[in-house]
Amino acid sequence: MTAATGTTNRQNKLPRPLIFAIGAIALVLVLVFGIRWWLYAAGHEETDDAYLTGHIHQVSSRIEGTVQALLIDDNRLVKAGQTLLLLDPRDYQVALDQASAALLNARRQAQTALAGVSYSAGKAAAQSTQAAGSFSGSEAAIAAAAAAVAEAKVGIPAAQANLKQAEANLTRAQLDYNRYIKLEQEGVVARQQLDTARATYQVNVAQRDAAAEGVRQATARLAQAEQNLSNSRSKLVQSRGSIEDARATGLQTEVERRQYQAAQAAVAQAEANVRNAQLRLSYTRLVAPAAGRIGNRKVEVGQRVQPGQALLSVAEERPWVVANFKETQLAHMRPGQPVEIKVDAFGGRTFSGRVDSFSPGSGSQFALLPADNATGNFTKIVQRVPVKIVLDPASARGYEGRLLPGMSVVASVDVSEPAANR
C-alpha cells in the first residue's frame, strides 16, 4: 500500500519547469500591476472622506400669519419665483387700507396748508403795499399840512396889520366926518364936502369890517391847518400800525409755511407706511428663491408661523463635491486638475470633475470648538483641508436629480496633470 501511494504521488506532481514558468508569470503580473499601481498612486491623491453638497435654500416667513394654502409637495421640482405657499392676507390687507386712508388724509391736510400759505402770502403782500402807500401819503399830507400851518401863521399878522390900518383910517375918517358936520352947520363948507366926508367914513367902516373879517379868516385857516396837520399825523400813526399788521401777517405766513412743510413730512411718512404695508402684504406669498427640489417640509395648512421660522428647503440640482484631503496630499494639487469621482450609491459609476478651490483653513479651524494647541500637552495630528470639486456637466448627464447632497463619494485627483485654465 505504501508503494502504491508513492507511485500515485509521483504521478500527481507537476513538472518542475512548469512550476517555474507559472511562478515567473505570476511574478511578472504582480510586477506589472504593482508598477501600474505605483505609477497611478504617485500621480493621484485619493480620499474617501468626501461627500456631495449643494446650495440648500431655507424658506422661512418674514411675517406672522396662518398658512392658507400649500401649493407644493415633498421632493417636487420648482422653478425660481414659483409660489410655494400662501398666508392669510386679510390682516395685512386691512393694514394697507388703513395706511392708504391715512395717506389720503395727509395729502388733503397738505393741500389745505398750501392754500393757507398762498392766501396768507397774498394778504401779507397786499397789506404791505397798502400800508406803504398809506405811510407815504401820510408823510406827504403832514408836509402839506405843516406848510399850510406856516402859511396860516404868516397870514394872521398881515391880517391884523390890515385891521389896525383900517381902524386908523376909520378913526381919521370919523374925525373928518364929525368936523365937516360942524363946519356944514356953521356954513363954512358946502353940503357936497360933507357928503364926501360921509362917504369916506362909510368906506373906512367897510374896510375896517373887511380887515376884521380877514383876521377871523386867517385865524380860522390856521386852526384848520393845525387840524389837518393833527389828522395827517394820526393817519401816519395808523399807517405805521398797518405796516406792523402786514409784518405780523408775514410772520403768520411763515408759520403756515412751516405747517405746510410739516404736512409734507406727514405725507412722506404716510407714503412710507403704505409702501411698508404693501411690502408686508406681499410677504403673504412665499416663493422659491431658486430652482430646485423641495425638501425638509415642516409646514401644513392652517399652521401658525412666526417670522424666521423654517418652513421648508429648496435644494438646487447643481451639486459639487467637498473632499477632505490630508494636508500632506496637497503639495502638488492645484485648481483645475482633473478628478475621478465615484459615488457609493452608484457602484462603479465614475464621474469626472475638476478641482475648483481650496478652503481658506483646515476643517478644525472652522469647528464649533477649534483646537487650542497652547495648553502644553500638544499632540501633532495631520489636518484635513476641504477641497471643492465641481462635476463635469457632461459626465453627470442622466443623473440629474439623483446626485443628492450628503452622498458619500471617493475622489481621486490627478496631480500629475498641470492645472487647466479655469
pLDDT (0 to 100) of residue 310:
93
Position 357 scores a pLDDT of 94
CA distance 338 to 406: 22
290 vs 233: which has the higher pLDDT: 290
| Contact assessment for residue 343 and residue 351, using Cβ atoms and an 8 Å cutoff | yes
Does pLDDT of 250 surpass 70? no
Domains present along the chain, CATH in parentheses: 44-57+311-369+381-414 (2.40.30.170), 91-282 (1.10.287)
On the question of pLDDT at 300 being above 80, the answer is yes
Average pLDDT over residues 364-389: 77
pLDDT at 391 over 90: yes
Going by C-alpha positions, the residue among 159, 193, 155, 160 that lies closest to residue 177 is: 193
pLDDT of residue 239: 67
- Give the pLDDT of residue 282: 95
Sign of CA dihedral 214, 215, 220, 225: positive
**For 370-379, what is each residue's pLDDT tens digit?**
766 666 666 7
Between residues 289 and 368, which one has the greater pLDDT? 289
**3-state SS string over the chain?**
CHHHHHHHHHHHCCCHHHHHHHHHHHHHHHHHHHHHHHHHHHHEEEEEEEEEECCEEEEECCCCEEEEEECCCCCCEECCCCEEEEECCHHHHHHHHHHHHHHHHHHHHHHHHHHHHHHHHHHHHHHHHHHHHHHHHHHHHHHHHHHHHHHHHHHHHHHHHHHHHHHHHHHHHHHHHHHHHHHHHHCCCCHHHHHHHHHHHHHHHHHHHHHHHHHHHHHHHHHHHHHHHHHHHHHHHHHHHHHHHHHHHHHHHHHHHHHHHHHHHHHHHHHHHHHHHHHHHHCCEEECCCCEEEECCCCCCCCEECCCCEEEEEECCCCEEEEEEEHHHCCCCCCCCEEEEEEHHHCCCEEEEEEEEECCCCHHHHCCCCCCCCCCCCCCCCCEEEEEEEECCCCCCCCCCCCCCCCEEEEEEECCCCCCCC
Q: Residue 145 above 90 pLDDT?
A: no
pLDDT at 12 over 60: no
- Exposure string of 326-364, with b = 16+ CB inside 10 Å and e = fewer, is eeebbeebeeebbbbbbbeeeeeeebebbbeeeeeebee
- Whether 253 has a pLDDT exceeding 80, the answer reads no
| % of the chain beyond a pLDDT of 90 | 40
Res 220: pLDDT: 79
What is residue 203's predicted lDDT score, i.e. its pLDDT?
83
Higher pLDDT, residue 53 or 152: 53
With 80 as the cut, is the pLDDT of residue 128 above it? no
Residue 180 has pLDDT above 90, yes or no: no
Edge to edge, the sheet with strand 285-287 lists 285-287, 83-87, 65-70, 304-305
Instruction: Count the neighbouring beta carbons within 10 Å of the beta carbon of residue 50.
Output: 25
pTM above 0.95, yes or no: no
pLDDT at position 1 is 46
Question: Is the predicted pLDDT of residue 40 greater than 60, yes or no?
Answer: no
pLDDT band at 27 (very low <50, low <70, confident <90, very high): confident
Whether 9 has a pLDDT exceeding 80, the answer reads no
**Grid coordinates given for 315:** 435644494
Select, from the ranges 19-33, 40-54, 293-307, 404-418, the one with the highest average predicted confidence (pLDDT).
293-307
- Name the band, by pLDDT with cuts 50, 70 and 90, for residue 113: confident
pLDDT top residue among 382 and 43: 382
Instruction: Quote the pLDDT of residue 134.
Output: 67
Asked if pLDDT for residue 340 goes beyond 90, the answer is yes
Alpha-carbon distances, residue 100 vs 17, 96, 131, 352 (angstroms): 104, 6, 46, 59
- pLDDT of residue 217 exceeding 50, the answer is yes
Q: Over 80: is that where the pLDDT of 403 sits?
A: yes
Residue 209 has pLDDT above 60, yes or no: yes
